[in-house]
Amino acid sequence: MSKRMLGDIAIDVAIEVPVDDGFPPELLVPNHDPALLEANKSLIEPFCRNPVTGGLKLSIHTWIVKTRNQVILIDTCNGNHKERPSFELAHHLNTPYLERLAAAGVRPEDVDIVMCTHLHVDHCGWNTQLKNGKWVPTFPKAKYIFSKQEFDMWNPAEADHVELEINQNVFEDSVLPVVEAGQAEMVHGDHALNDNMLIKLAPGHTRGSIVLEVESKGQHALFAGDTLHSPIQILRPEWSSGFCLDPVQSGQTRRKLMEHCVEKNALLMPAHFPPPHAVRVKRDGDNFTFVPE
Ligand SMILES: [Zn+2]
C-alpha cells in the first residue's frame, strides 16, 4: 500500500497480482526499439524491466480514490473463482483482494463509484463475486461507470461486437450482473464525475476506453487505464501494446495524454505500472521521459 495525497484527495492502491518477472517486451510492446531501451537502461531497470529476466514488470491493481464524501475504485482486476480457460493468469483465482481493500480502509459497502476504464478481463473481475452460485455485484451500494462505446463493443447483441479469446465469459459474469442489478451507469464520451473529476474518451486500446482526469488544489493526476502498459511507451508514444485493438489510434491517444500530463504536471497513474505505480511525465525533445513517483 502506498497512500498519497493529491490536494484534498487521498489515493491508495490495492494490488491483486504483481507480475515482477515481467512480460516479454516483444509481446507486450512489439514495436519497441531495443537500442533505445538500452540507452535508457538506468531509467527502466530495475523499475519497470526485470534485470534478470529482461521482462517488462507489471502489476494488476485497483486505484482507490477517496474524496471528502466519496470512495471511488478505478478498475477491479481479475476477480476470484472466474472461469477463464483461455487466460491462465486469471483462471480460478483466489486472492485476498477484499482483505487488501480492507487494509486500505475500504469495505465493499463503503464504495460509492466503481469505474472500469475498459472491459478487458483484468479490469472488471471484482465487479462481481460468486454468492450462492450467482454472480452478484461485489459493491452493493456503488454506481458502476461503464463507457457506452465499450459496453456495446463487448455486447453479443450488437452486430459489430468484438470477440477475444482471453475475454471469454467476462461480459456475462462481470458486466451483465451489474446491469441487471440496476447499478450500471453508461457514459458517452466526456463526463464530469464530480467537481474535481472528468472522464474522457481515450480510444485505441479498445474502442471505448476511458481515462479519468483529477484535480485538487491545483494538483493534477491522470488515471490512464491501459492507454499504456509499460513506462517504456512514454519514451515513444507510438509504441502500442500487443493488446491494442487499433495500434495507430492508440499511439495518437497516448501522445495526446502525454502532452496533457506535461502541460498540467499531472501524475500519470495507469492500471499496470509496477511499484510505485505512478510517474511524472517530462518532455524530452519531440518525445517524453519520466520520473517514477
Ligand atoms: Zn489491463
Contacts with 137 (C-beta within 8 Å, 6 or more apart), sequence order: 127, 128, 144, 177, 178, 181, 183
For residue range 27-76, list pLDDT tens digits in order.
999 999 999 999 999 999 999 999 999 999 999 999 999 999 999 999 99
Q: Per DSSP, what are the bridge partners of residue 184?
A: 144
Does this model's pTM top 0.95?
Answer: yes
How many angstroms separate the alpha carbon of residue 225 from the centre of ligand 1? 7
**CA separation for the pair 177, 18 (Å, rounded):** 27
Rounded to whole angstroms, the Cα distance separating 31 from 195 reads: 39
User: Of 278, 282, 274, whose CA–CA distance to 293 is shortest?
Assistant: 278
User: How far is the centre of ligand 1, averaged over its atoms, from the C-alpha of 226 (Å)?
Assistant: 5
For residue 227, give the CATH number of its domain. Answer: 3.60.15.10
How far is the centre of ligand 1, averaged over its atoms, from the C-alpha of 132 (Å)? Answer: 29
Q: Which residues neighbour 182 within 8 Å (Cβ) at sequence distance 6 or greater?
A: none
As a whole number, the mean pLDDT across the chain is 96
Distance 206 CA to ligand 1 centre (A): 11
SS3 47: coil
**Residue range of the domain that includes 225:** 4-292
| Interatomic CA distance for residues 174 and 9, integer angstroms | 28
| Residue 46 CA to ligand 1 centre (angstroms) | 21
For residue 60, the Cα-to-chain-centroid distance in whole angstroms is: 8
Could you report the per-residue pLDDT of 219-271, keeping only the tens digit for each? Answer: 999 999 999 999 999 999 999 999 999 999 999 999 999 999 999 999 999 99
How much of the chain, in percent, has pLDDT values that exceed 90? 98
Tally of domains within the chain: 1
Q: Quote the ligand 1 centre to 71 CA distance (angstroms).
A: 22
User: Which amino acid, residue 238?
Assistant: E
Check pLDDT > 70 for residue 2: no
Q: How far is the CA of 59 from the centre of ligand 1 (A)?
A: 9
- Cα–ligand 1 centroid distance for 164 (angstroms): 14
CA of residue 25 to ligand 1 center, whole Å:
15
Ligand 1 center–CA 271 separation, angstroms: 6
List the one residue out of 151, 153, 149 whose CA is nearest residue 127: 151
Residues 78/119, Cβ–Cβ less than 8 Å: no
Ligand 1 centre and the CA of 123: distance in Å? 6
Which ranges of 107-203 does DSSP label H, i.e. alpha helix? 148-154, 170, 176-180
Q: Output the CA 118–ligand 1 centroid distance in Å.
A: 8
Given pLDDT bands bounded at 50, 70 and 90, which one contains residue 1?
Answer: very low
